[in-house]
Structure 1
Amino acid sequence: MKTLNSIFNKTLAAILAIGMIAFAGCSIDSTPGMGTLEVKLHDAPADYDEVNVFIERVEVNNSEDEESGWQVVSEPNQQYNLLELTNGVFEMIGEVELEEGFYPQIRLILSRDNNNVVIDGEVHDLFIPSGAQTGVKLNVNAEIEEGFTYTLLLDFDALRSVHKTGQSPVLDYILKPVIRATNEAVTGNIGGVVNPIEARAAVFAIAGEDTLSSTYANEESGEFLLVGLEDGTYDVSVEPREEGFGSEYLENVEVTVGETTDLETIELTTESNE
Structure 2
Amino acid sequence: MSVVRLSLLSSAVALAVAGCGGGAEFGATGTLSLGITDAPVDGAKHVYVQFSSLELHGPDGTRTITFGAPKQIDLLALSGGLSLPLLEGQTLTAGHYQWIRLNVDTDGTLDTYLVADDIDETVHELTIPSNAETGLKLVRGFDVPAGGSADFTIDFDLRKSLVESSGGYHLKPVLRIEDNVEVGAVAGEVDLGVYSCNTTGNAVYVFSGHDATLADINTSLTTGPVTTADVKAHEDGSYHYRAAFLAPGAYTVALTCDVESDTAEDTESLSFAKSYNVTVTADEVTSQSFTSL
Q: Deviations over 1:129-180 (max 9, x none)?
A: 4499x7996555111112332111111111222222313xxxx222222111
TM-align CA RMSD: 3.0
Q: Map 1:1-274; keep pairs closer than 5 Å.
A: 33-47=28-42, 48-62=44-58, 69-72=62-65, 74=67, 77-95=70-88, 96-113=90-107, 114-119=111-116, 120=118, 121-130=121-130, 139=138, 140-167=140-167, 172-196=168-192, 199-200=199-200, 201-207=202-208, 208=212, 209-221=223-235, 222-241=239-258, 248-263=273-288, 265-267=289-291
Structure 2 counterpart SS, 1:233: strand
CA contact (8 A) 1:39 1:154 kept: yes
Percentage identity across aligned positions?
Answer: 26
Query: 89-98 or 223-232, which moves further after superposition?
Result: 223-232
Q: When the two structures are superposed, what TM-score results if normalisation uses the length of structure 1?
A: 0.72
Aligned length: 227
Query: 158-167 or 84-93, which moves further after superposition?
Result: 158-167
CA contact (8 A) 1:206 1:212 kept: yes
Q: Distance in 1 between matches of 2:98 and 2:279?
A: 29
Flag structure 1 segments of 5+ consecutive residues without an equivalent.
1-31, 270-274
CA contact (8 A) 1:108 1:137 kept: no
Q: Distance in 1 between matches of 2:66 and 2:29?
A: 14
What is the Cα deviation at residue 112 of structure 1?
1.8
What is the Cα deviation at residue 185 of structure 1?
2.4
Corresponding residue of 1:21: none
Corresponding residue of 2:9: none
Q: Which letter maps to 1:81?
A: D
Structure 1 counterpart SS, 2:155: strand
Q: Which has the higher contact order (CA 8 A, sep 6+)?
A: 2
What is the Cα deviation at residue 248 of structure 1?
3.9
CA contact (8 A) 1:213 1:228 kept: no
Q: Which letter maps to 2:29?
A: M
CA contact (8 A) 1:60 1:73 kept: no
More helix by share: 1
What is the Cα deviation at residue 63 of structure 1?
5.1
